[in-house]
Amino acid sequence: MSQEEARAWHSRAVNQVAAELATQVENGLPEETALARLKEHGPNELQEPPRPTYLKRILDQLNSFVVIILIVASLVSAALGDWVEAAAIMAIVVLNAVLGVVQEGRAEEALAALKKMAAPDAHVVRGGHRLSVPARELVPGDIVLLEAGNFVPADVRLAESINLKVEEAALTGESVPVQKFADHTLDSEAALGDRSNSAYMGTMVTYGRGRGIVIATGMRTQIGLIAEMLQSFADEKTPLQKKLDDLGRTLGIASLAICGLVFAVGVGRYLMNPAPGSTLVEAITELFIIAVSLAIAAVPEGLAAIVTICLALGMSEMVRHHALIRKLPAVETLGSATAICSDKTGTLTQNEMMAVQLCADGQMVGISGHGYNVQGNFTLDGQNIIAAQRPVVNSLLWGGALCNDANLEVTGEQDLQPTYRMVGDPTEGALVVAAAKAGLWRRQMEKSYPRVSEVPFDSDRKRMATIHELRNVTDDDPSPFRSKDQGQFYVAIVKGAPDLTLALCTHQLRRKGIAPLTEAERAAILKANSAMARDALRVLAVAYRTLDSVPAEPTAQEIEQELVFVGLVGMIDPARPEVKPAIEKARRAGIRTAMVTGDYADTARAIANQIGLLRPGGQVLTGAEIQDLSDQALAERVEHTDVFARVSPEHKVRIVEAFKAAGHIVAMTGDGVNDAHALKRANIGVAMGITGTDVSKQTADMVLTDDNYVSIVSAVEQGRIIYSNIRKFVYFLISCNLAEIAIIFIATLLGWPTPLTAIQLLWLNLLSDGGPALALGMEKGDPDIMERPPRPPTEPVINRDMLSGFITQTVAITTAVLLAYWAGMQYFSSLAHADKVHTAETMAFATLVLSELFRAYTSRSERFPLFKLGVFTNKWMQYAVGFSATLLFIVIYVPFLQPIFDTVPLTLAEWAAIVPLMLIPSIAAEAQKFIGRRMDTRKQTA
């Protein structure tokens, strides 16, 4: 039993728990205390199994089909007495294994860093300030704020609970959410599932809100004690990686078949015409070495490692552009996206709401100011007014500020004026700021009107209600809700969507008091609401009713009835200036953008027009209209609909399904608990990193760290670049390998000695080709990457164009290398046989290496010529080519390496003979691009 269990925190009162942990429920721990405890207790995270040792990881690298072939070849060479070649092959195998471990380690580190970034944050109170900190930094004694949609980040003893319900199925198996009560004190032997005053790490808040004292973190939590691991990343291969694995297996099988054929042809030729001075065993051994060379040539050994590194680097680049990829398959899917369904507030707009207009007592009152600055004026008919002298305006400000969970905090001072930051929902923040402009500060108001209960906001009701006790209220109090007698009473304030809130009202607050709400007045209020919405304002209604008592567990049905309507508040959230060009960029890339919002149709239409989202003839579809459409009819309507307004989370799911039914690959944004289903159903679920709940973040494939639509478009662009780069180095590596197969195969059929030795091919594939291939994976993308239509998701990596490139390059490289080998054999016919063969082999080896290095430059784009890209625009290519070329000259000109690699130093005359041959593959590649562009132009013209 843990120390935390022995203490039985659930059996103690809140003040006892706070005292023992030396914390304060209202103000939390001082920052320095929290830092000290973090050092003492360690991070709040579950320990992961230790990573495999370097030795085991090296052995894993050696456990592959190709490597086993190489080891067998090395053993055969050793058995035949060729110890130099055997040692060289083994040295390169080990070097490749070490490089593989290093590359794998770097990829794991990049993914681990991304995993830490994807870990949920926790809302805490420290030093009297509400902060958002990584959940791993929580310590015992921290005060944690819990809200619907959040995972409980540590084990806590609840200090406050307002209609709080927690889903504990992951821990206790309880199938329904459990009601929590902070004021309960339980028996010390209470079972885990019966601890109604505590919440535990990994469970989820489904309703209400609360505040808790952290009692255990990390492995000392309940979930830590039973060793349950909550995983935010799955160890999975992407569809692309699986396709490339299948390709590797196919190449391996094909290489075995070709090896068998070459071996059989060679043995048959020897039996029919034995070479003088050579035994059958020696011939079979030589043929076996040739077969091994073919196997080496067939399989691109570095492909898997480069794909993993490219994905990891690409994901890191996306993080730099504020998009955190949680699931690797999303990287590939992004490149195929054809539709983005985006929230409006905070994603297309700035998420810095400001109240600019009030409708109270039939009058429209303007509010000036900027953002969260509390300096501003109230105007009526162009004249400044004092809000406190307008009873209904004053009541509207009071109600909006009290029925509110946002806080305005002082952050400093500028020009002798305090500066503020908003903690909480921006819409609620706008109401708090509007009240502060009238001198009504929420914290002071709550002293006279403390909140005693509430009915939290619900996306279906589209409103919230708070219940306040009128305490120490006198006739001099500016509150509109003061009692006319000395008895105690309560006021329930309701804030929400105007149409739904107004439907619950029977009376209206006027200057002369409360009056029945007539149908004409109701119609006038709805008309004012529509007028404000047409001006792109988000409108909320405020209403109230008085209560004699507070129900033990208040529900919306009993509180939200017979309300007194107070007024409307119109707020604006300005569109992000960078969104309009981003929408146009997505449109040019063949990607549709649709707005999906809970706002009114008029408001949504106005913003959509501002940002250029609404196309000519584009439609606006409301949630009520969606409700009346069949799935098939909705799928037909989405093609012509740019704005979905007044939608609920359930509608979002239908919208996603409709887009998919219409043939789209759709990215859907969301931030709430109820958005999780839509995020899961979308091809790419996108959660909001700032305003999103933990549930939405854990469900999503991608998290926007800045909640900005532009980041989605940037992520799509980066997804296209990553996929394009993977295609580039797959094309580069496999075309090289196919050419190597053709070189060995054709030379064998012609009866020539093998132009390239096994160790030369091994050196080439594992060291010379790897650097340029990795550099191709770091290309910035073609200039027109966002001018092309989305890639069909069913399109194979190796499509018709790439197959054509394979054929062209195989012919070009094979021709160049065989011509170099033939020139070497013919030019040095007067030399001794061994010298002639080694010279020809060296010329063939140098031609192959350098032709592939030159061709790496042309592989940087499948469409654009090298002179348009610029030879030196990818600095990594310069490093890679320089490194590989240096390796070539080392094995040719360093004397003690020459017998190992069967090379001889080439003369200037020999270089002059092979330099033109080296350029053949690059010229062929550029010519093929030119022909392809001409054909594309003709198709477009036709």
Q: Which residues are catalytic?
A: 343
C-alpha separations of 552 from 160, 181, 555 in Å: 15, 12, 10
CA 942/CA 940 separation, integer angstroms: 5
The two beta strands, 641-645 and 619-622, are: parallel
Cβ atoms 146, 210 nearer than 8 A: yes
Are residues 565 and 541 in contact, defined by beta-carbon separation less than 8 angstroms?
Answer: yes
DSSP string, 209-266: EEEEEEEE-GGGSHHHHTTPPPPSS-----HHHHHHHHHHHHHHHHHHHHHHHHHHHH
Count the helix, strand and coil residues of the chain and give each as a percent rounded to the nearest 5: 50, 20, 30
Taking alpha carbons only, the member of 315, 325, 441 closest to residue 374 is: 441
CB atoms inside a 10 Å sphere around CB 110 = 19
Cα–Cα–Cα angle for 401, 402, 405, rounded to 5 degrees: 85
How many Å apart are CA 480 and CA 543, to the nearest integer? Answer: 12
- Cα distance between residue 145 and residue 164, in whole Å: 12
Say how far apart CA 551 and CA 834 lie, in whole Å: 101
Q: How far apart are CA 187 and CA 191, in angstroms?
A: 9
- Residue 18's region, left for phi above 0, alpha for psi from -120 to 50, else beta, is alpha
Note the Cα 648 to chain centre separation in Å.
24
Instruction: Report d(CA 886, CA 890) in Å as an integer.
Output: 6
User: Rounded distance, CA 572 to CA 367, Å?
Assistant: 11
Distance CA 872, CA 780 (A): 13
Query: What is the 8-class DSSP label of residue 477?
Result: -
- Among the listed residues 230, 280, 222, 289, the one whose alpha carbon sits nearest the alpha carbon of residue 72: 289
Work out the angle between the directed axes of helices 833-858 and 920-941 (0-180°, nearest 10). Answer: 30
- State the number of CA atoms in the 13 A half-sphere of 182 facing the CB: 20
The answer for residues whose C-beta is within 8 angstroms of residue 794's C-beta and 6 or more apart is none
Q: Which residues have C-beta within 8 Å of that of residue 516, sequence separation ≥ 6? A: 506, 507, 508
With H, G, I as helix, E, B as strand and everything else as coil, classify residue 925: helix
DSSP, collapsed to helix, strand or coil, labels residue 475 as coil
Tokens found for residue 393:
């305006």
901 vs 625: CA distance, rounded Å: 75
Range list of β-strands (E), 291-427: 323-325, 339-342, 354-360, 363-367, 378-380, 383-385, 407-414, 417-423
Within 10 angstroms of residue 379's Cβ, the number of other Cβ atoms is 15
What separation, in Å, do the N-terminal and C-terminal C-alpha atoms of the chain show? Answer: 78
